[in-house]
Amino acid sequence: MRNRYNLAAVLSAVILVCCGALILGQKVNAAGEGKITGTVKLDGTAPHMKGIDMSKDPYCSKAHASDPGHLETVLAGQNGGLENVVLYISEGLSGGALTEVPTEVPVFNQKNCMYMPHVLAMDVNQKFKVVTSDQTAHNIHPLPNPMINVGWNQSQPPGAPAVEKSWKAAEVIPVQCNIHPWMHGWFVVVKGPYATTDANGSYTINNVPPGNYTVTAWQETYGTQMQKVTVAAGKPGTADFTFKAK
Amino acid sequence: MQTTVRKWSLLLGAAAVLAVSQVAWAQLTKYDLESRMGTESHIGNITGHAKDAKADYRRYCVVCHGELGDGNGESFPWVDPKPRDFQLGVFKCRSTPTGTLPVDQDLFDTIARGLDRSNMPQWSTFTKQERADLVAWVKHFSPRWVSEKPGTPIQIPPEPEITAERIKAGRDVFAKVQCWKCHGVQGMANGPSAATLTDDLGRPIAPFNFTEGARPKCGSTDQDLFRIFMTGLDGTPMPSFADNIKPEEAWDLVFYLRTLEPQKSKEKAIAKQLALKPVDPNAPAGQQ
């Protein structure tokens, strides 16, 4: 008898939570219309991106026979647009916009002995995948601060299945391949909506409800910059950033 | 005398600065540790209690692992590889997957075994109870044991018969997953990537040399070898192969690894009969 009451209680709790989730979900969808857009530029001449000597692995050097690999620590386009800058909201988020975890699964590919993309942004607890397109073995070895996230180290020989993971806390995490020491990239784990600049330095952060925010731009060589932005209903916020070339 | 003392304190001072920059990750205080003094370990039917290991730790371990367990003991400057920082909860020798905590038994075995090719001695004189207490003590340094459970130990199927087929198949695995990139085609620690390897602290680290007759840090039985390459040695370049080597193939690889060692073994005798050659890194995939 007692048990039945308990069951009823649990059931109604489940129903309540489901309804709650539906209502909340709708709210987030409405919020989804807001966005922050802008461009990130480099002021000055981009530093020379050194070529990479891949001769230790014939597979890698052959893959780059006509298009030599080079460092990717500062990638500036023709108009000075900076690629691979991560933008996220460092202040002002609350509720679903902060806690909602995107369902899409970003992919980090090992291709021609380089990381594609070189910088992969993601939300806390968002699933991401590491895959390999190469016919040479890699090991994928992120190096978080062990006091914040837990690192791991997995081999990915040719034909290896994808490694699917997530990170439990916000952190900028370097990732490397020990077999190919030039392979160095980043997992940028943030809380809430984010975007990464394209080759022109443009970005759009979606799913931002109306409100006042601080947007942070992270670039691996130049560090971070912040700006205040207001998003109004039906009116996207804009924030352009400029990093000085060093 | 005066100057010697001064020289020493200078040296120690410099070492301390270096040490601080090395272990900038560690942030725990005595206060945090007090609160975890109730940490336990469970080894079979023995329960270890952290608080009971305090004296033994002081006496035998603190010179290297430090008062706060951060690996920053007095010996830090002179020891390479560096003493483990227990606050991070990252361990080389585990039966559990990469990125997970070891089970108590793993730490229990490690303390008795010591870590070959390092300053970490073998500790065979402790009673089992004392060793279990030390395991609990080691655990109390890391908050990870409060927030996480240890990983699930990987499955090791029963060891099959050693056959020529299995040894040849093991050689194919060694070639296919490319152990030789680091360990070299003959297991001499001279693969194309060996020279540039660094551990998670950024210090140079050499792959294991199979041809020297040395003992692996994490044990030298067939089961230990199986575990080593399936779980990896966290904190080092040695990755986990659990996703890419099936348990059956893993036994083949264990048998093949034995043929690289200088010690006499059934595997070595068979390899000799077969006139087994080292893998050819230039052979197309699947054509060793």
Nearest neighbour of B243 by CB, restricted to A135, A136, A160: A160
Considering the domain architecture, whether residues B175 and B136 belong to the same structural domain is answered as no
- Name which of A136, A140, A153 to mutate to probe chain B: the one with the most chain B Cβ atoms within 10 A of its Cβ: A153
Q: What is the mean pLDDT of residues B34-45?
A: 94
Considering the domain architecture, whether residues B241 and B169 belong to the same structural domain is answered as yes
**Token pair recorded at residue A135:** 């016919």
Q: Residue A139: beta bridge partners?
A: A155
Residue B16 clears pLDDT 70, i.e. is over it: no
- Gap between the Cα atoms of B204 and B198, Å rounded: 4
Instruction: Name the residue with tokens 């691996």.
Output: A220
Considering the domain architecture, whether residues B68 and B120 belong to the same structural domain is answered as yes
Considering the domain architecture, whether residues A16 and A105 belong to the same structural domain is answered as no
Q: What is the mean pLDDT of residues B223-241?
A: 98
Of A175 and B25, which is predicted with more confidence?
A: A175
Considering the domain architecture, whether residues B176 and B130 belong to the same structural domain is answered as no
CB of A208 within 8 A of CB of A202? no
User: Which of the four pLDDT bands, split at 50, 70 and 90, describes residue B186?
Assistant: very high
Rg of the Cα trace of chain B?
Answer: 21
> What DSSP string runs through B99-129?
TSBPPHHHHHHHHHH--TTSS-----SS-HH
Kindly identify which residue of chain A lies nearest to residue B282, measuring between CA atoms. A58
- Gap between the Cα atoms of A188 and A173, Å rounded: 6
Inter-chain touch A179–B182, beta carbons under 8 Å: yes
Considering the domain architecture, whether residues B173 and B268 belong to the same structural domain is answered as yes
Of B34 and B248, which is predicted with more confidence?
A: B248
Range of the domain at B246: 164-274
Considering the domain architecture, whether residues A18 and A86 belong to the same structural domain is answered as no
Considering the domain architecture, whether residues A25 and A121 belong to the same structural domain is answered as no
- Gap between the Cα atoms of A26 and A167, Å rounded: 27
Inter-chain touch A178–B193, beta carbons under 8 Å: yes
Peptide bond into B81 cis (omega under 30): yes
pLDDT of residue A14: 43
- Phi/psi at A230 (nearest 5 deg)? -115, 130
- Gap between the Cα atoms of A45 and A37, Å rounded: 25
Whether B141 maps to a domain, the answer reads: yes
Whether B214 maps to a domain, the answer reads: yes
Peptide bond into A117 cis (omega under 30): yes
Judged by DSSP in three states, B164 sits in helix
User: Which of the four pLDDT bands, split at 50, 70 and 90, describes residue B226?
Assistant: very high
In the DSSP assignment, the letter for residue A52 is -
Whether B8 maps to a domain, the answer reads: no
Using CA atoms, how far residue A39 sits from A239, B142, B251, in Å, is 7, 43, 55
CB of B32 within 8 A of CB of B145? no
> Tens digit of pLDDT per residue, chain A (246 long)?
344 444 444 444 444 444 444 444 434 444 457 999 999 999 999 999 999 999 999 999 999 999 889 999 999 988 899 999 999 999 999 988 899 999 999 999 999 999 999 999 999 999 999 999 999 999 999 999 999 999 999 999 999 999 999 999 999 999 999 999 999 999 999 999 999 999 999 999 999 999 999 999 999 999 999 999 999 988 999 999 999 998
- Amino acid letter for position B220: S
CB of A83 within 8 A of CB of A77? yes
pLDDT of residue B69: 95
Using CA atoms, how far residue B237 sits from A170, A215, A218, B205, in Å, is 24, 36, 28, 8
**What contacts 24+ positions apart, CB below 8 Å, involve A12-19?**
none
Whether B48 maps to a domain, the answer reads: yes
Residue A25 at interface with chain B, using a CB cutoff of 8 Å: no
* Number of domains making up chain A: 2
pLDDT of residue B79: 86
Considering the domain architecture, whether residues A134 and A208 belong to the same structural domain is answered as yes
CB of B70 within 8 A of CB of B53? no
pLDDT of residue B283: 80
CB of B103 within 8 A of CB of B109? no
Considering the domain architecture, whether residues A3 and A98 belong to the same structural domain is answered as no
Q: Which of residues 33-62 of A touch B (CB under 8 A)?
A: 56-58
**Token pair recorded at residue A35:** 């966005």
- Name which of B244, B245, B246, B253 to mutate to probe chain A: the one with the most chain A Cβ atoms within 10 A of its Cβ: B244
Could you tell me whether strands A138-142 and A154-156 are parallel, antiparallel, or unpaired per DSSP bridges? Answer: antiparallel
Considering the domain architecture, whether residues A43 and A25 belong to the same structural domain is answered as no
Inter-chain touch A146–B89, beta carbons under 8 Å: yes
- Gap between the Cα atoms of A245 and B279, Å rounded: 48
Residue B26 clears pLDDT 70, i.e. is over it: no
Whether B103 maps to a domain, the answer reads: yes
Whether B196 maps to a domain, the answer reads: yes
Considering the domain architecture, whether residues A138 and A18 belong to the same structural domain is answered as no
- Phi/psi at A116 (nearest 5 deg)? -130, 110
Range of the domain at A5: 1-33
Considering the domain architecture, whether residues A113 and A170 belong to the same structural domain is answered as yes
Q: Residue A132: beta bridge partners?
A: A110
- Gap between the Cα atoms of B114 and B137, Å rounded: 17
Among B11, B276, B231, CA closest to B103: B231
pLDDT of residue B192: 97
* Number of domains making up chain B: 2
Instruction: Name the residue with tokens 């030789």.
Output: B180
Considering the domain architecture, whether residues A129 and A150 belong to the same structural domain is answered as yes
Asked which of B88, B112, B147 is the last residue of a domain, the reply is B147
Considering the domain architecture, whether residues A22 and A73 belong to the same structural domain is answered as no
ipTM above 0.85, yes or no: yes
Q: What is the mean pLDDT of residues B265-285?
A: 92
HSE-CB for B32 with a 13 A CA cutoff: 15
Kindly identify which residue of chain A lies nearest to residue B183, measuring between CA atoms. A179
CATH (domain of B34): 1.10.760
Whether B66 maps to a domain, the answer reads: yes
Whether B224 maps to a domain, the answer reads: yes
Considering the domain architecture, whether residues B222 and B250 belong to the same structural domain is answered as yes
CATH (domain of A39): 2.60.40.420
Among A165, A79, A178, CA closest to A120: A165
Considering the domain architecture, whether residues A91 and A53 belong to the same structural domain is answered as yes
pLDDT of residue A31: 47
Residue B63 clears pLDDT 60, i.e. is over it: yes
Ramachandran area for residue B149 (φ above 0: left; ψ -120 to 50: alpha; else beta): beta
Considering the domain architecture, whether residues A140 and A61 belong to the same structural domain is answered as yes
pLDDT of residue A8: 46
Considering the domain architecture, whether residues B133 and B193 belong to the same structural domain is answered as no
pLDDT of residue A224: 97
Terminal Cα distance for chain A, rounded: 74
Considering the domain architecture, whether residues B69 and B98 belong to the same structural domain is answered as yes
- Gap between the Cα atoms of B217 and B94, Å rounded: 11
Least confident of A7-16, A99-108, B23-32, B139-148: A7-16
- Gap between the Cα atoms of A150 and A129, Å rounded: 16
Residue B116 clears pLDDT 70, i.e. is over it: yes
Strand runs labelled E in A65-132: 86-91, 107-111, 114-116, 119-123, 128-132
Among A78, A126, A108, A96, CA closest to A32: A96
Judged by DSSP in three states, B197 sits in coil
Distance of CA B32 to the CA centre of its chain: 27
In chain B, which residues have their Cβ closer than 8 Å to the Cβ of A153?
A: 98-99, 232, 234, 236-240
- Phi/psi at B12 (nearest 5 deg)? -65, -40
- Gap between the Cα atoms of B170 and A125, Å rounded: 38
In chain A, which residues have their Cβ closer than 8 Å to the Cβ of B193?
A: 56, 178-181
Inter-chain touch A158–B285, beta carbons under 8 Å: yes
pLDDT of residue B285: 66
Considering the domain architecture, whether residues B134 and B226 belong to the same structural domain is answered as no
Considering the domain architecture, whether residues B142 and B188 belong to the same structural domain is answered as no
Considering the domain architecture, whether residues B120 and B168 belong to the same structural domain is answered as no
pLDDT of residue A218: 98
